[in-house]
Amino acid sequence: MSDDPFAHLKAVQREAWAVFAPLEAVTTMPAAELVRHARVLPQQSVLDVGCGTGVVALTAARLGARVRGLDLAPALIEQAKRNAALGGVEIDFQEGDVEGLPYGNATFDVVLSQFGHMFAPRPEVAIAEMLRVLKPGGTIAFSTWPPEHFVGQMFALVGKYQPPPPGAAPPPQWGDPSIIRERLGKAVTDIMFDRGVMCFPALSPQHYRKVLEETLGPVVNLVQTLQGDASTLASFRAELDGFVGRHLENNMLRQHYLMTRAIKC
Ligand SMILES: C[S@@+](CC[C@H](N)C(=O)[O-])C[C@H]1O[C@@H](n2cnc3c(N)ncnc32)[C@H](O)[C@@H]1O
């Protein structure tokens, strides 16, 4: 039996994230921004944590880096392998959990995560693992959605209808620079932040909601949970549509994100 107190949560997440692949269309461009922000060089050994379908991993591999990718969802790992084959790059993808990385100490020159490790329930465990597998002098870099912007607020809305289990940190905390500094602590130096915007096309709030219900893990999971509770599901949908409607402009949702880079001491 697993001694992970969040084993059940992760089993649910593994299934819910399995349908994320279509959203690679919107995470492809920020992947290049993260690889740039991390200053990845040819021949460096790079880990992409929470790699999904491999958008960051492929970007780094196409620069000539030696790349491994890890994700909780086996269905996404299969898609990542197909993406690597299509892109003509060799990447070692495997299923796994950022809270227990299957790599030795000081293995990588660069450890990256684009909107990935932020979903682990125990930030202190996730960051300790990412730093453990990083070489001294190596670079850790990640992209996260801040709590005050569109995606962070949307996750807060989802959290209102389905609070995280006791002890699990809300993902958008990873978008707050002061919390990031605290979590990285004295293990790193030279912390640098940068910001970007990813654009998500949508014809209406209902179109956007349909995409989320079909592809975004936490929303997929919430809608499944509320299947037997039609009135709460209707309230969630109405609240989400109203929120999205206030942000939709020119058939587009602008999704601000934060990039962090730091050097391991
Ligand atoms: C928003 S998606 C981002 C995927 C990809 N990095 C991208 O930018 O397209 C979040 C990813 O984190 C993964 N994930 C969530 N919790 C994880 C965990 N504990 N360990 C590893 N991966 C995890 C999910 O399976 C999912 O692929």
Q: What is the pLDDT of residues 151-179, one digit of tens each?
A: 999 999 999 999 999 999 999 999 999 99
CB of residue 98 inside a 6 A radius of ligand 1: yes
Contact 24, 76 (CB under 8 A): no
Residue 1 has a pLDDT of: 52
Is any ligand 1 atom within 6 A of the Cβ of residue 114? yes
Q: Which atom of ligand 1 is nearest to the CA of 73?
A: 25
Which residue's CA is minimally distant from atom 15 of ligand 1? Answer: 119
pLDDT in the model for residue 12: 94
Counting atoms of ligand 1 from 1, which one is nearest the CA of 24? Answer: 9
Kindly indicate whether the domain formed by 7-147+164-198+257-264 is annotated with CATH number 3.40.1350.10: no
Nearest to 104 by CA among 179, 28, 45: 45
Residue type, 215: T
Q: What share of the chain is helix, strand, coil (3-state, %, to 5)?
A: 50, 25, 25
Mean pLDDT computed over 109-134: 98
Whether residue 49 contacts residue 130, with contact meaning beta carbons closer than 8 Å, is answered with yes
Confidence of residue 3 (pLDDT cuts 50, 70, 90): confident
Residue-wise pLDDT tens digits, 237-263:
999 999 999 999 999 999 999 999 999
DSSP code string of 37-76: HTT--TT-EEEEET-TTTHHHHHHHHTT-EEEEEES-HHH
For residue 115 and ligand 1, the question of a CB distance below 6 A is answered with: yes
Alpha-carbon Rg for the chain, nearest whole angstrom, is: 18
| Residue 13 Cβ < 6 Å to ligand 1 | yes
Confidence of residue 2 (pLDDT cuts 50, 70, 90): confident
* pTM given for the model: 0.97
Q: How far is the CA of 215 from the centre of ligand 1 (A)?
A: 12
- Residue nearest to ligand 1 atom 14, measured at CA: 50
Helices 230-247, 150-161: crossing angle, 10 deg rounding? 170
User: Mean pLDDT over residues 222-242, rounded?
Assistant: 97
